[in-house]
Amino acid sequence: MAVPVKELANGATIPCIGMGTFGSDRFDAGQVAAAVEGGIEAGYRLFDCASVYGNEALIGGVLEKAVTGGKVKRGELVITSKVWNDMHGSGDVLLSCARSLKDLKLDYIDIFFVHWPFPNYHAPGCDGDSRNPASRPFFAEEFAGVWRQMERLVDMGLVRSIGMSNMTVPKLEAALPLCRIMPAAIEMELHPAFQQPGLFGYCVGKGIQPIGFCPIGSPTRPERDKTPDDVAATEMPEIMEIAGARGVHPAVVCLKWAVRRGQVPIPFSVYRAEYESNIKCVSEDPLTDEEMRKISAADRNCRLIKGQVFLWEGAANWRALWDEDGVIAGWEG
Ligand SMILES: NC(=O)c1ccc[n+]([C@@H]2O[C@H](COP(=O)([O-])OP(=O)(O)OC[C@H]3O[C@@H](n4cnc5c(N)ncnc54)[C@H](OP(=O)(O)O)[C@@H]3O)[C@@H](O)[C@H]2O)c1
């Protein structure tokens, strides 16, 4: 199945749906790599990778086999990766990129993202309330130092496009004037229960492609990342009603909404039936204007990936990471 592509501001293209590769605690690297192999057969060309997902080496083996075996041309693939928070120091971004290139068995990465806009690191799987004493708030000048290293990767031909992730409008307002090369894309949490109209519209207005993570509302994220107030996108009455009327799974409605709105969703699944159904969404039966309006009005402003493990000592709570009052939180946040 051929997936329609969209053009980024720098002229590169990106499929309008991709496959996530974060297996979290549930799926090991081999299972995720097998899903990438099946995904290529199903027609996926965009794979959202990251060094911190711990599976780039096995995914790289699959990509190499697919290209050398003639299943797909390298130029048709759009492979992303991300520099993790512990590799923001001078020279470290290049090291991280080199490591991802080696693991993914590629000679360039299509879009390389700064995974989080600060160097706050936590041990994998640590308790949600734990704080690293070295964690600190976002500083635009510090972030600019990371971005300059990202720009250098473009200059060196190691990456085609660069992007940011987990940003807010105030952080972008501070960071974009410091960029020589604009981000071509920004990853952000986007699903019917968390539509981020402000950030989404801001990016579109600047010609930056939003890429929506957790597009199905990440129903299987670890328990430590769930709170009692979380709204499950697939259980929202509006989504269930549309799914019921169409005779499809609510996940399909979430993805059709994403594609028609204009973000690039990157759903994750290791199950063939699910990832095949997800990719089919983009070419069959788009949502109607009325269905789009209904979902737009159903936004619950419910952030699921709160990032609380990245808080600095003294920060009040996870909301300090997201500048909800329009100001970038500092030490007092
Ligand atoms: N930049 C960042 O900071 C960031 C943060 C988070 C995620 N991401 C990226 O975004 C990707 C997607 O996010 P995510 O995995 O958290 O959330 P998601 O894609 O919203 O949800 C994934 C879960 O949805 C279920 N699912 C998928 N397709 C389905 C279908 N057709 N029918 C029913 N259920 C379906 C699966 O559950 P079952 O396994 O139970 O079937 C799967 O585990 C990640 O893999 C990662 O690449 C990036």
Task: Give pairs for 244-251: CB < 8 Å, separation 24+.
Answer: 246/285, 249/277, 251/216, 251/277, 251/278
> What integer is the mean pLDDT of 101-122?
96
Rounded distance, CA 137 to CA 119, Å? 9
3-state class (DSSP) for residue 235:
helix
The closest of 78, 88, 135 to 108, measured between CA atoms, is 78
- The overall longest dimension of the chain from CA atoms, in Å, is 56
Determine if ligand 1 sits within 6 Å of the CB of residue 217.
yes
Q: Which residue has the higher pLDDT, 60 or 129?
A: 60
* The pLDDT value given to residue 71: 98
> What integer is the mean pLDDT of 40-45?
98
Rounded distance, CA 131 to CA 128, Å? 8
Q: Residue with the nearest Cα to atom 27 of ligand 1?
A: 269
Q: Which residue has the higher pLDDT, 52 or 124?
A: 52
Output the six-digit token pair for 203: 């990016």
pLDDT tens for 283-309 read 899 999 999 999 999 999 999 999 999
Residue 124, pLDDT above cutoff 80: no
- pLDDT interval class at 332 (50, 70, 90): low
- pLDDT interval class at 314 (50, 70, 90): confident
Rounded distance, CA 46 to CA 39, Å? 9
Q: What is the mean pLDDT of the chain?
A: 95
Q: Residue with the nearest Cα to atom 13 of ligand 1?
A: 214
Ligand 1, pocket-test mutation among 25, 191, 218, most atoms within 8 A of CB: 218
Distance 244 CA to ligand 1 centre (A): 21
Beta bridge partners of 189: 213
* The pLDDT value given to residue 129: 74
Q: Residue with the nearest Cα to atom 48 of ligand 1?
A: 213
> What integer is the mean pLDDT of 171-192?
98
CB 48 within 8 A of CB 82: no
Determine if ligand 1 sits within 6 Å of the CB of residue 307.
no
pLDDT tens for 190-205 read 999 999 999 999 999 9
Q: Residue with the nearest Cα to atom 33 of ligand 1?
A: 251
pLDDT tens for 234-281 read 999 999 999 999 999 999 999 999 999 999 999 999 999 999 999 999
Residue 224, pLDDT above cutoff 90: no
Determine if ligand 1 sits within 6 Å of the CB of residue 220.
yes
Determine if ligand 1 sits within 6 Å of the CB of residue 219.
yes
- What is the phi-psi region of residue 196: left when phi exceeds 0, alpha when psi lies from -120 to 50, beta otherwise? left
Determine if ligand 1 sits within 6 Å of the CB of residue 251.
yes
pLDDT tens for 130-170 read 788 889 999 999 999 999 999 999 999 999 999 999 999 99
Catalytic residue (choose from 44, 53, 121, 202): 53
Radius of gyration over alpha carbons of the chain, in Å?
A: 19
The closest of 41, 46, 11, 33 to 265, measured between CA atoms, is 46
Q: Residue with the nearest Cα to atom 19 of ligand 1?
A: 267
Ligand 1, pocket-test mutation among 274, 279, 280, 309, most atoms within 8 A of CB: 274
Determine if ligand 1 sits within 6 Å of the CB of residue 216.
yes
Residue with tokens 């990106």: 14
Determine if ligand 1 sits within 6 Å of the CB of residue 274.
yes
- Spatial neighbors of 217 by CB under 8 A, at least 6 apart, are 191, 192, 193, 194, 231, 232, 233, 234, 254, 304
Determine if ligand 1 sits within 6 Å of the CB of residue 215.
yes
From 18-22, 124-128, 266-270, the region with the lowest mean pLDDT:
124-128
* The pLDDT value given to residue 123: 75
Sheet holding 109-114, edge to edge: 19-20, 46-48, 78-83, 109-114, 159-165, 185-189, 209-213, 264-265
- What is the phi-psi region of residue 141: left when phi exceeds 0, alpha when psi lies from -120 to 50, beta otherwise? alpha
Q: Does the annotation mark 53 as catalytic?
A: yes
Please identify, by atom number, the ligand 1 atom nearest to the C-alpha of residue 233: 20
Distance 215 CA to ligand 1 centre (A): 7
* The pLDDT value given to residue 25: 87
Beta bridge partners of 270: none
Neighbours of 270 (CB within 10 A): 20
Distance 287 CA to ligand 1 centre (A): 21
* The pLDDT value given to residue 207: 98
* The pLDDT value given to residue 333: 59
* Per-residue DSSP letter, 2: P
